[in-house]
Amino acid sequence: MKRLFFGGIHPKYNKEMSTKVTTFHTIDPKQVVIPLQQHIGAPCKPLVNVGDKVLRGQKIGDGEGLCVPVHASVSGTVVAIEPRPHTSGRRVEAIVIDNDHQDNAIPAVTNDLPLEQLDSDQILHSIREAGIVGMGGAAFPGNVKALSAMGNVDTLIANACECEPYITADDSLLRTEPEHVLEGMQILRQVLKPSRLVLAVEDNKAIAIEKLRGILPNYPGIELAVLPTRYPQGAEKQLIQALTGREVAPGQLPVSVNCAVFNVSTYAAIYRAVRLGLPLTQRIVTISGEAIAEPQNFIVRIGTPFHDLIEVAGGLHDKTERVISGGPMMGFAQSDLSVPVIKATNSILCLLKDENGAAENPVCLRCGKCVSVCPMRLQPLYMYRFTNAQRVDELQRLNILDCIECGSCAFTCPGKLPLVERFRKGKQMVREANAK
């Protein structure tokens, strides 16, 4: 049974812009920049030195604790290990590799064992060593998330909603390689032992749905849930409620209601790591928006600079106002197009005008629209007020840390308040206060 979550909006989706080109293009960049911080947790330490020759797929950075390794996405020579611009807006230590265009790779160790003979510890080890993180945007280490869910979940969910406007990377994956996603789900089922497996997709992905229905009989035990298109359907707490009726309490994680949610690109990466012995060195990236000449989806090597991808897609319009890493609702505007594609980059959005941006002199009209659309049942107008007043005690009372920064409030605000920007600041204030 499908259930509606509270709030949500229906923006113009504009997804057809990037799906007109039905085949993937790949690019071979002259140089890649591999940040040592591409995941939630501790940054990697470099395992190579300037001047070293590396192979595609070679581990070049790793660390201890909450950390997963990074790998070379091309073969070539390490020319620098230094801070470089990052999509977060910071400068992050990175390994810079000049591509020799030979694409020499480390030998891949394949695994053809029957599914029931796959060992859970070995699967988790393969996920970790492949550097797999949540590829829907969260970038949490995949092996740690799976380990925390072992013995604690009865429902395993594949998230293919991709509800944010313009982005079609996951849709393109399901159109071309749905088997990789379903194989990845079966592999993770061996680890988590859930009683229910669900692949959730919104109903605006007709071609992908048709493909899935055609091959699902080959994957017994996996059900397809087609949900009505609604933003932010792909947020994991809202998706869990829509599929199971369970609500994740404030401050809690999906495992608290016996659910685990992974993005479909993450499942495909798990399949490639466990079965094909391939680390995470590339991903599908949507490049779209009115300011790009040829919107489409690319298979992109991790570390490819944004400007290289934009150039191959025909270049930017002269009146481009904004380039965003991610989508228009939750993405981050970029001031430097030398930033590289990282593991969590699913889209580069190029806009002529930021329709949802804040006004020069924003004013709260106290209309309450932000409250009616907030999927987390928060009170954005008061969160905005108390962030500006630096009232950390009130922000904690209002559960600001439960804000998922979906942007529904800002989208519907007639006063054009910079709500998400303020909430990010407010959440940081609360975290700093809690740390003290």
What is the per-residue pLDDT for 137?
78
What is the per-residue pLDDT for 21?
87
What is the per-residue pLDDT for 401?
94
- Residue 62, domain member (yes or no): no
Beta partners for residue 70, in sequence order: 61
- Residue 9, domain member (yes or no): no
- Residue 40, domain member (yes or no): no
| Number of compact structural domains in the chain | 2
Mean pLDDT of 89-95: 95
- Residue 73, domain member (yes or no): no
Beta partners for residue 284, in sequence order: 299
Task: With a cut of 70, say whether residue 358 has pLDDT above it.
Answer: no
Residue type, 91: R
pLDDT tens for 386-420 read 999 999 999 999 999 999 999 999 999 999 899 99
What is the per-residue pLDDT for 250?
84
pLDDT tens for 153-182 read 999 999 999 999 999 999 999 999 999 999
Go through the chain and tell me how many residues it has: 436
What is the per-residue pLDDT for 2?
54
Q: Dihedrals φ, ψ of 76, to 5°?
A: 160, -150
Mean pLDDT of 410-436: 92
- Residue 381, domain member (yes or no): yes
3-state secondary structure of 80: strand
- Yes or no: say if 132 and 273 are a contact pair by the CB < 8 Å rule: yes
My answer on whether 130 and 265 are in the same domain is yes
Mean pLDDT of 73-97: 96
- Residue 125, domain member (yes or no): yes
CA dihedral 127, 130, 136, 137 (to 10 degrees): 120
Q: Which of 276, 303, 328 is the last residue of a domain?
A: 276
Dig out the tokens for 413 from the structure.
């605000």
State the Cα–Cα distance between residues 169 and 286, nearest whole angstrom. Answer: 5
Q: What is the mean pLDDT of the chain?
A: 94
- Residue 306, domain member (yes or no): no
- Yes or no: say if 76 and 53 are a contact pair by the CB < 8 Å rule: yes
Nearest to residue 283, comparing CAs of 99, 130, 90?
Answer: 130
Q: Which of 254, 276, 298 is the last residue of a domain?
A: 276
Mean pLDDT of 337-355: 90
- Residue 181, domain member (yes or no): yes
Mean pLDDT of 216-232: 96
Secondary structure (DSSP) of 181-228? HHHHHHHHHHHH--SEEEEEEETT-HHHHHHHHHHGGGSTTEEEEEE-
Q: In terms of residue numbers, what domain contains 416?
A: 369-435
HSE-CB at 51 with a 13 A cutoff on CA atoms is: 0
Mean pLDDT of 377-385: 95
Q: Is the dihedral of CA 149, 187, 180, 218 positive or negative?
A: negative
Q: What is the DSSP letter of 435?
A: H
